[in-house]
Structure 1
Amino acid sequence: MTIYGKVWLVGAGPGAADLITVRGARLLAEAEVVLYDALVTEDMLALCPQAVLIAVGKRCGLRSMAQPIINQQIIDAAAKYRRVVRLKGGDPMLFGRADEELRAIESHGIECAVVPGITAALAAAASSKQPLTRRGIARSVAFFTSSTAPDMPDQTTLPACDTLVQYMGGREAVKTARNLLALGHPPDTPVIVVENCSRADEHIYRLPLSQLEDGLAKCSGPVLMMIGAAMAAREV
């Protein structure tokens, strides 16, 4: 009978090492092994110098490790170590494939816990100093992504909400803009694009929806897009 250690799914936050939670940093310092995403920075990994590091990263649009293999590596690590951290970018429970990993962990009777992280949408709003909600203008927010499971077609419908936040939206920018314009959104609808959110090489771009239709060729890093009237520049 295999005796397993405990697994923690820890949110690394948007990128900057000092934006991880205190609990997450403590668990990294105590971990025996850390299985980490591709977007986790070297500064973040410096918080766990004692741990065995296993890269299990996935990057949108790039060849990467299949999710079932990642699941099995987590199980194998729990069979070998007592304290296992699965370090996931952002928050594990939002576009982090936590459901698949939790299912695999629980199917083996392994004890597990989840530590939340600052999701990219909130970090991007903070970096741009642009609230996602504004009294009298926007009281609802939708987080969405177009990517789906490998055997399913990409999602093309868009949520109906005052403020839209698209994760992993760089490659989908043109399609998103055209869909929104076709739905009747004004061409001058404000858009904020945040590339490499919270990192030293972060870039913030402000443009109208009509320009988003031209794409984001200037962006090479991970992109998050915030769209809606709440993104308009504040009048001073």
Structure 2
Amino acid sequence: MEILKKSNTHTPRRRAPGLLTLIGAGPGDLELITLKAVKALQDADVVLYDALVDPDLLQYAPNAEHIFVGKRRGCYSYQQEQINELIVARAKSHGHVVRLKGGDPFVFGRGAEEMEYAAEHGLDTVMVPGISSCLSVPAMQQVPVTKRGAAESFWVITGTTKEHKLSNDVKLAAKSSATVVILMGMSKLSQIVALFKKEGKSETPVAIIQNGTRENEKVGTGTIASIEREVEMQQLANPAIIIIGEVVRHRERIQSIKREYKVVSTEY
């Protein structure tokens, strides 16, 4: 993708001693980052990026210092307190720090904490929202989170709390008729399945999407009763999103119609 030309009209105004711009990189597909995010990256002096961010996005900040601050398989390159301090230090020494995070930084991304820390240390702060994986990853697989007659609302829940336990909200969500989207929940899948079975929802459809919107994306579908077998067969693991609800049937319906009419799928 061609890099957009920098425009002074869109360059963030700097306030001493520095600026933090918090950016959502989207769910993974390089083309799902916003134009506003690209413009901010072009203006960056330093970019701090996470593990779920495609490094190819750094092409939009060719003159900036690039620092990886993410974690992989529980291994941290920086602790959160160190990231906070790094933001402030680099903003004061370099000027404009971009914090590049996967999805949307305000959806289980700790972006609000980093912004608050920066503001408390005298930095100007700007937020550029990203396309959240909780909506876009199901959508790209033709699973709507709401659909008339199937779901009137949806829950978005973190599967693992800071205490490394399953969120109590999953138990509440299992009692509802809403679509339930669970992030960071693969390690708790057995507990999640047990809660939904307890509510008599063994036949409720489930989709699990690993590496959503990326070239190595994998999808498994089934029901509450069968999804663990599907996960084992396909070796599905994090990073993945779990979608529970009748809306999952929409994907199967669309695929069935395409087969009936011999429609060739289009990819962008």
Could you tell me the TM-score, scaled by structure 2's length? 0.81
Q: Aligned residue for 2:210?
A: 195
What is the alpha-carbon root mean square deviation over aligned residues?
A: 1.8
Q: Which runs of 5+ in 1 are unaligned?
A: none
Hey, what's the Cα distance between the residues in 2 that align with 1:132 and 1:76?
A: 41
Amino acid at match of 2:125: C
Q: Describe how 1:15-30 pairs up with structure 2 within 5 A.
A: 15-30=28-43
Q: Describe how 1:64-83 pairs up with structure 2 within 5 A.
A: 64=76, 65-83=78-96
Match of residue 142, structure 1, among 155, 165, 168: 155
Off by >4 Å, runs of 4+ in structure 1: none
Amino acid at match of 1:171: S
Q: Describe how 1:157-236 pairs up with structure 2 within 5 A.
A: 157-158=169-170, 159-160=172-173, 161=176, 162-185=178-201, 187-214=202-229, 216-217=231-232, 218-232=235-249, 233-234=252-253, 236=257
Question: CA offset at residue 47 of structure 1?
Answer: 2.0
Amino acid at match of 1:62: G
- Three-state SS of the structure 1 residue aligned to 2:225 is helix
* Counterpart check, 1:97 vs 2:110: yes
Q: Which has the higher contact order (CA 8 A, sep 6+)?
A: 1
Hey, what's the Cα distance between the residues in 2 that align with 1:226 and 1:175?
A: 15
- Asked if the contact 2:20/2:115 (under 8 Å) is kept, the reply is no
Question: CA offset at residue 215 of structure 1?
Answer: 7.4
Q: Describe how 1:146-157 pairs up with structure 2 within 5 A.
A: 146-150=159-163, 153-157=165-169
Q: Which runs of 5+ in 2 are unaligned?
A: 1-15, 258-268
Using the aligned pairs only, state the percent identity: 35
Q: Describe how 1:44-59 pairs up with structure 2 within 5 A.
A: 44-59=57-72
Amino acid at match of 1:69: Q
Deviations 1:153-196 (A, max 9, x none): 542441434100001122121211111111222x1211111110
Hey, what's the Cα distance between the residues in 2 that align with 1:84 and 1:138?
A: 41
Hey, what's the Cα distance between the residues in 2 that align with 1:44 and 1:134?
A: 33
Q: Larger Rg: 1 or 2?
A: 2
Q: More helix by proportion, 1 or 2?
A: 2
Deviations 1:109-158 (A, max 9, x none): 210011000111222122211111110110100000132225x7542441
Match of residue 62, structure 1, among 71, 74, 85: 74
Q: Provide closer, same or farther for how the CA distance between residues 156 and 134 of structure 1 changes in structure 2, counting only shifts above 3 A.
A: same
Q: Provide closer, same or farther for how the CA distance between residues 147 and 220 of structure 1 changes in structure 2, counting only shifts above 3 A.
A: closer
Hey, what's the Cα distance between the residues in 2 that align with 1:38 and 1:14?
A: 12
